[in-house]
Structure 1
Amino acid sequence: MLDSLNITKEQVQKYNEEGFFIIENAIQDNLLESLRKECDYLVDLQNKEMDNKGVSELNLSRRNSRYFVFLAYKERKQLGEFIFSDLMSSICKATIGTDAYLFWEQFVVKGTDPKGAEFTWHQDSGYVDGKHKPYVNCWIPLDNVNEENGTIYILPYSLAGTKDKIEHKIMEGSKDRVGYFGNEKGVPVNVKAGSIAVFSSTAFHRSGANQTKNMRRAWAIQYSPEVIYEPDGSLKGLDEPFLKNGVRVK
């Protein structure tokens, strides 16, 4: 169920040259359904916490608009088994090499209220202020995704004009950062649930609002080739070892 993937030379080449590739139908239906149930359970917990506090916002989550659930794997065994699997090991080896650390993990759910659910052009590295090697983001839609329900768009390196981290600007009235101001629209990731969009932390991406009547659920898992630190020397993200010299240590 979580065996290694056969990642092709063409996919590796596309990652190196354009910053991303797509793995179609990477996750079996029964596992996919259990991941959906995990996500729904976690969103329900946030709604209950909002009810108890009498609020409609909780950290970055906004009721019916967008939900972020960070690092649930620490309490949910099945999520950890997926994150530290041969399947994800094969992606790490093909992208960041033989050493890998879990850097971050989160569910991102776009609700049926489109307010505040769009994300501007940014690199994940644009949110990391310390010097670091590029890391990899594995974006896993738990629902079929398209331009109507708020999928992501990825800007290939050849259109962005760079493979490097770009200095981002903080948007007024928001904590969101933006780093691309050109006219390119990017490549929409229109794929079935259970596929994986694999992209570098220096690949620009954005997403639109969910304009449908159904939730759009996705899970993002990020791995780094090294431990990443803030400019002041404090830890950025996580530093949980996964691969050492190509061998799983977890």
Structure 2
Amino acid sequence: MTKHTDFLKRGYAVLAGRIDDTDLAALRHAADTLIAEPAATDGGNHDINRGADRQFLHKRHEDFPDVARFLFSDRMRAVTGIVLKDPHLFNEQFVVKGPRTGASFAWHQDGAYVPFDHTPYLSVWIALDDTTLDNGALSCLPRDLTTQAHIDPHRWDDVGKEKVGYDGPDRGEALPCPAGTMVIFSSLTLHRSGANITDRPRRAYLAQYSDGSILDPSTGNPRNFAKPLS
């Protein structure tokens, strides 16, 4: 298992092994069910969906008992325990890049999408299909979280429908991986994903966990979810 100190020095880690076939099948089933529903927008200030090219299908785990079980499983408690002392489910979503025209996603930090100061959280990205450089593999920029524990300036790109936190020459580390692989990274870690130019969709699942609740200071309510794993 990845050590906490190793994670802090790089800001991300590819976990050894893969989720079991039962959990992978449950996540794929939920993804395909949501893909078949009528298209919906984010409903927030920034809608990052791009139709069939790039879909974010989020906050639906309660509709799929097997997905909910996985999110609060011993496996996820072990994974989040690498980084967090009091893990709470913060958010979850499927990310689907359509075949041939699946849009890339620019370099960004997940924390840049939270519009107020907050404690950094953990993103757990799971490949539901074999991911390659041709279908939109994840890439991360190493970041020493002990010295770079901040959110960088981001700009909104109207064309890409996304926030951009870096557009320099560093290409980071591409992380092609087989289905079932888990990649964990901090909400402070810059990451991106490429376009899908293959003939099949590229599906992934993103579960995000905070250390305790993340509360909106304007309302005192949780930003998304605030469900403890323990």
For the criterion TM > 0.5, the same-fold answer is yes
Q: Structure 2 vs 1, CA of residues 167 and 135 (structure 1 numbering), >3 Å: closer, same or farther?
A: same
Distance 1:64 1:27, change over 3 A: same
Percent identity between the two aligned chains = 34
Q: Note if contact 2:135-2:198 (Cα within 8 Å) is conserved in structure 1.
A: yes
Match for 1:156 among 142, 148, 163?
A: 142
- Residue equivalent to 2:45: none
Corresponding residue of 2:97: 110
In structure 2, what is the Cα distance between the partners aligned to 1:164 and 1:232? 21
Find out whether 1:145 has 2:108 as its counterpart. Answer: no
> Distance in 2 between the 1:79 and 1:30 partners?
10
Is residue 2:168 matched to residue 1:182?
A: yes
Whether the aligned pair in 2 keeps the contact of 1:140 and 1:196 (CA below 8 Å) is yes
Are residues 1:238 and 2:225 paired? Answer: yes
Determine whether 1:135 maps to 2:121: yes
Range that drifts further, 21-30 or 168-177: 168-177
Q: CA deviation at 1:24?
A: 3.4
- Which residue in the other structure is 2:16 paired with? 24
Between the two proteins, the alignment pairs up a number of residues equal to 222
Range that drifts further, 58-67 or 18-27: 58-67
**TM-score, with structure 2 as normaliser:** 0.88
Amino acid of the residue matched to residue 19 of structure 1? G
Counterparts of 2:187 and 2:68 in 1: how far apart (Å)? 22
Asked whether the 8 Å contact 1:26–1:194 carries over to 2, the reply is yes
Residue identity matched to 1:100: P
Q: Which residue among 198, 202, 212 is the counterpart of 1:226?
A: 212
Q: Deviations over 1:44-88 (max 9, x none)?
A: 12xxx25xxxxxx64454443122211121111011000000100
Give 1 or 2: higher helix fraction.
1
Give the counterpart letter for 2:139 in structure 1.
Answer: Y
TM-score (norm 1): 0.82
Question: Retained in 2: the 8 A contact 1:169–1:179?
Answer: yes
* Structure 2 partner of 1:67: 55
Letter in structure 2 aligned against 1:27: I
Deviations 1:204-242 (CA, angstroms, capped at 9, x unpaired)? 001111010011010000000022133524531211222
Q: Does the 8 A contact of 1:136 with 1:222 survive in 2?
A: yes
CA–CA distance in structure 2, aligned partners of residues 58 and 189 of structure 1: 28
What is the 5 A alignment of 1:43-122? 43-45=35-37, 49-50=38-39, 58-59=41-42, 60-97=48-85, 99-114=86-101, 117-122=103-108
Q: Which residue of 2 aligns with 1:33?
A: 25
RMSD: 2.0
Distance 1:34 1:226, change over 3 A: closer
Letter in 1 for 2:30: E
Q: Which consecutive unaligned segments of at least 5 residues does structure 2 have?
A: 43-47
Distance in 2 between residues matched to 1:76 and 1:199, nearest whole Å:
25
